[in-house]
Amino acid sequence: MTCDRLVCANCAGPVSEGRCAVCRAHRERLHRESPLANLSPAALIALLATLMAVALVAQKVATA
């Protein structure tokens, strides 16, 4: 989950802006809990492609 679309119940501002202490605390907690949330879509695609390549090599080694 990202904090881009969350609205703070305390100050009614976007959590991503961190206007109040509640926003900043929630934003920090979200970033700490999900390390992949900060990656761009291109980085996630590259990570997925790398994992698929490793799986393919492992499969070929196991069958040889």
46 and 62: one domain? yes
3 and 22 belong to one structural domain: yes
- How many domains is the chain built from? 2
Task: Classify residue 61 by its DSSP letter.
Answer: H
The rounded distance, in Å, linking the Cα atoms of 42 and 57 is 23
Residue 3 belongs to what domain range? Answer: 1-33
For 7, the 3-state DSSP assignment is strand
Write down the pLDDT at residue 1. Answer: 54
Residues 1 and 19 in one domain: yes
- Are the CB atoms for 2 and 15 separated by under 8 Å? no
pTM equals 0.47
Are both 48 and 62 inside the same structural domain? yes
| Residues 28, 2 within the same domain | yes
**How would residue 36 be classed by pLDDT, with cut points 50, 70 and 90?**
low
Give the type of residue at 33. Answer: E
Same structural domain for residues 1 and 29? yes
